[in-house]
Amino acid sequence: MHSAKSSLTALTLGALGVVYGDIGTSVLYALKEVFNSGHISLTPEHVYGVLSLVVWTVTVIVSLKYVTLVLRADNRGEGGLVAMLALAAQAVEGHPRLRKVLMAIGIFGTCLFYGDGVITPAISVLSAVEGLAVLSPRFESSVVPLTLAILLALFAVQKRGTAGIGRWFGPIMLVWFLSLAGLGIWHIAHHPTILWALSPHYALQFIWDEPGIAFLLLGAVVLCVTGAEALYADLGHFGKRPIRHAWFGVAMPALLLNYLGQGALLLQQPEAVSNPFFAMAPRALLLPLVVLATAATVIASQALITGAFSVTKQVIQLGYLPRLQVLHTSETDTGQIYMPLVNWGLCVGIALAVIFFQSSGALAAAYGIAVTLDMLITTILTFFVVRWGWRYPLLPVAAATLFFLVVDVSFFASNLIKLPDGGWFPLAIGGAMFVLMRTWHTGRQLITAAMEHHALPLASFLDMLRHDSNVTRVAGTAVFLSSQAGTVPSALLHNLKHNKVLHARNLFVTVRHHEVAHIPVSQRFNATDLGHECWQVILHFGFKDEPHVPAALYLLASRQTIPSLSDMETSYFLSRDIIVAQRGHGMVLWREKLFAQMYRNAGSAADFLHLPHRSVVELGSQIVI
């Protein structure tokens, strides 16, 4: 019992460090942007109304929607938009058209993650470093260069992994949240009537009295739920209980206390509106607070970078992106990965955002469209999971979905006003990623169709070979990787054409990735004896499983389903296809050329499948799409 409690405490502390970094640093800029938006005057009625809006936005979106409802939709223990998409797709399996629409919506939501991923670290770190300008105006010119230096250093250390410094994330964020609560309590004590803002009456009264202003302000109020999606995305790392304990026990109380404290400060010192968070601190504590805020925003950015690696790997295994180089930074934790292209792509995007927008206020104008659209997509997918997958009664499911849809659509509509002022930036990134993903997925389907058109049945082909005296059997085991089970791999045809040999033992292996997070080991293999020392093997992996083909084959051999494999006598044969784009076939020509370029630059299949390099033989072929 003591061990279980210790484990829960450790996981809760870890969740505090990883899951709540983004939302924990939203206090740096949320209220500042609301009152500096130019839409509202700083009166007591407005302060109470806005604070009540913030309190109930956090309560409805984070506590009710994500922590209470969405966290229940785990895909064999995993969470995130990709996991939700997989659950929704399974729920509507018997409705192919609906399933196709949901897949497109879910993939677009995943693409928006990258747009949000560029804006969030930029606005967080900038808002922390801007605290120096509060300390002294002469530091103002140093804010952007210092922000860029911090972010560049953060991306530069990614290849070394975060296992060493990761253990400090939880304690640092705990100190951060305690500091937020302490600052809030101190100012609330000077103006305790601010606690009346906890009542939804003030939010509703504000909306009733000034509906137009309230609608416009939703675009800034949404900043208080920055990073809410991380609650669900990190489900597989920590589990429901630690995430819920960290939220209700530490993060939510600290955030609400700090927002109320900022409100109390604004009632007493309206001039603090330019940066109410840093104005809360006594001057002697301002520099330590800037340092702590910067550390918290770096941790929040680190969690997002790690999430980008994880999401990209999942999308690759679902077949929507080409293979990319994946480096493992930990010998014990397979989830600790580093993807150079994703890392430096994000770095360039974030640096451009900092240089282009220059301040957290300008970035706030760009933030919101992507994240509110993601929230809307999550609500839609959740409906199909709860209603079609879990078979809950229609009336309560529809009522809950309609309620959250009204909230999500209201925030999204308000943020659309930001489109000319920078809201196009994350949408452009998400749109570009969507074109790439759809092009890759469609291109792969065209390749499959072309290969099926020219495919030869494997069983009859092997029968023919057995009677061909020109084919020599040589010692050893050949493993032919093929995307289509039951058909002759092109690598086998080329090997016979050029070498005129067939190995003594032949395994025809097809790797299939499924729309579930994990495939149990007991369900990972299908092996069929084709006779004459030939076997058809199908390996099944979930989108979070490591597709380690040799390890799977060794495990299969240990069960005596296939012959034992010797490292020195086993060769792995792969096809290295060359794609030729042709007008009038499949996609429009520019997309076919884009796909051909993506295919040419895709990472090595040998690396992706963990094949031993010294035993890999690649044979080329040409495919016209």
pLDDT per position as a tens digit, 369-403: 888 888 899 999 999 988 898 888 999 999 999 99
Which residues, at least 6 apart from 321, have a Cβ–Cβ distance to it below 8 Å? 312, 315, 436, 437, 440
Please count the other Cβ atoms lying within 10 Å of the Cβ belonging to residue 483: 17
- Alpha helices (H) along 339-393: 340-357, 360-366, 369-384
8 A C-beta contact, residue 129 and residue 150: yes
pTM: 0.84
Q: Which fold has domain 2-422?
A: Amino acid/polyamine transporter I (1.20.1740)
Pairing mode, strands 534-542 and 525-531? antiparallel
8 A C-beta contact, residue 329 and residue 159: yes
In this prediction, residue 162 carries a pLDDT of: 62
What is the distance of C-alpha 577 from the center of its chain?
30
Longest dimension (CA), the chain: 96
In this prediction, residue 3 carries a pLDDT of: 45
The string of DSSP codes covering 401-424 is HHHHHHHHHHHHHHHHTTGGGTTH
| DSSP H or E segment with residue 327 | strand 327-328
Radius of gyration of the chain (CA): 27
Which two tokens mark 55?
């309190």
SS3 504: strand
Low-confidence ranges of the chain (pLDDT < 70): 1-6, 161-166, 330-335, 469, 584-585, 620, 624-625
DSSP state letter for 392: -
- Bridge partners (DSSP) of residue 573 are 480, 617
In this prediction, residue 2 carries a pLDDT of: 39
pLDDT in tens, 426-439: 888 999 999 999 99
Residues of the chain within CATH 1.20.1740 domain(s) are: 2-422
| DSSP H or E segment with residue 512 | strand 501-514
